[in-house]
Amino acid sequence: MYRRHAGALLVPLVLLLDASHARAALAQAWPPFVLVAGLLLIGLVAGRDGLFDAAASRLVGLAGPPVVLLLACFALVVVVTALLNLDTSVVFLTPVLIKTARRRGVDVNPFLYGSVFMANASSLFLPGSNLTNLLVLSGERVSGAAFFARMLPGAIAAALITAAGIVLIHRRRLFAGGERVQESPPAPLRLGLGLWGALAAASLIVILRNAALPVLAIGLALLLARALQGRVPVRETISWLGVPVLASLFGLSVALGTLARASAFPADLMHSAGAPLTALVAALASVLVNNLPAAVLLSSGRHLHTGALLLGLNVGPNLAVTGSLAVLLWWRAARASGATPSAIAYSRQGLMLAPVALLGALALGGG
């Protein structure tokens, strides 16, 4: 609860500081939040188009033991996370993975926890895949294509190691040959506005250095088209976006960014730290204060290891449920689907997955 009001509480303090710090913090914060709002709108339209359910209906019919189904689900999570942001991924795909496991009559847990672990670990492919990427990169003129090329080895390593770790943790049930359920033929996959919007947004993120406003324009255009058809109620849109939460996080980010620029401590710490220490500090800061405020605090000054910082901010939240906004959204989506997530079970698995994924990604050039 304190995080929801933290932005409003810090605003008066921010106003007492140098206005130049506040302007710099504002310039850092607004593009990521605008871009994420646009991606969430596109994800809402894609979900309404039945894109994710159509994918799930095809996954259920896969032959083989449950591990085959799980890995196919993970591939879907990686693609949606990379193109539409990890917050969109956990909100839409967590219910899909839970439903898929139940329809196949297999253990839900690897699908339940795998949906969020894989989303966090797969959020390093494109700048828009995670809000923390955009916050950290706001001071650098890096195109989406350059980011993709730079982070690809570490992103692949983090995703593959996390997927392999989940399989190992749940290996007894995943390799116990499951029965293939007789399913009705899946509905035809329609190339609706949501899919085209997602592809357009991903292309703009790769091509442009700041795709926030164009992607938001796409999201608003798709939403307007669906609203005129009566397929996306306004109230549902406001609830889906979580406007109060986004607004409070935006205020908190600006406030912390201003405070960080007024103090030399975060900048000095990150400038002198090596790649492993940078990743470790970012991961621990994510667990302590959430990765969004941590991203603003730790990227307020110039630092030498951007890749390591991003790895800590993106993979580090797999250590505990306090690590990211995506985990909170996952928890809500899981409960709404009738699942019972456990903070203890989350951390017990995350403590095995996150350190190995971080080390592997760093070893493959993530620093």
pLDDT tens digits along 235-293: 667 776 777 777 877 887 787 777 777 665 555 566 666 888 889 999 999 998 888 88
CA dist 212 and 232 (Å) reads 22
Longest dimension (CA), the chain: 66
Mean pLDDT of the chain: 81
Segment among 47-56, 110-119, 273-282 with least mean pLDDT: 47-56
pTM assigned to the model: 0.79
Residues 6+ apart with CB under 8 A from 76: 55, 59, 93, 96
Token pair belonging to 168: 């190992």
Quick count: other Cβ atoms within 10 Å of Cβ 274?
12
| Nearest one of 311, 315, 263 to 136, comparing CA atoms | 311
Contact, 303 vs 336, CB < 8 A?
no
64 has pLDDT over 50: yes
pLDDT at residue 15, rounded to an integer: 47
Q: What confidence tens digit (pLDDT) does each residue in 173-193 have?
A: 887 655 555 455 555 666 678
- Give the side-chain half-sphere CA count within 13 A for 289: 15
Q: Which of 47-61, 127-141, 333-347: highest mean pLDDT?
A: 333-347
Residue 65 three-state SS: coil
Please indicate whether residue 61 or residue 231 has the higher confidence score (pLDDT).
Answer: 61
Q: Which of 52-56, 99-103, 312-316, 325-329: highest mean pLDDT?
A: 312-316
Q: Which residue type sits at 53?
A: D
Write the DSSP string, 335-347: HHTT----HHHHH
CA dist 35 and 83 (Å) reads 12
CA dist 349 and 317 (Å) reads 12
CA dist 94 and 88 (Å) reads 10
- Give the side-chain half-sphere CA count within 13 A for 57: 12
Token pair belonging to 324: 């990211």
Q: pLDDT band for position 50 (50/70/90)?
A: confident
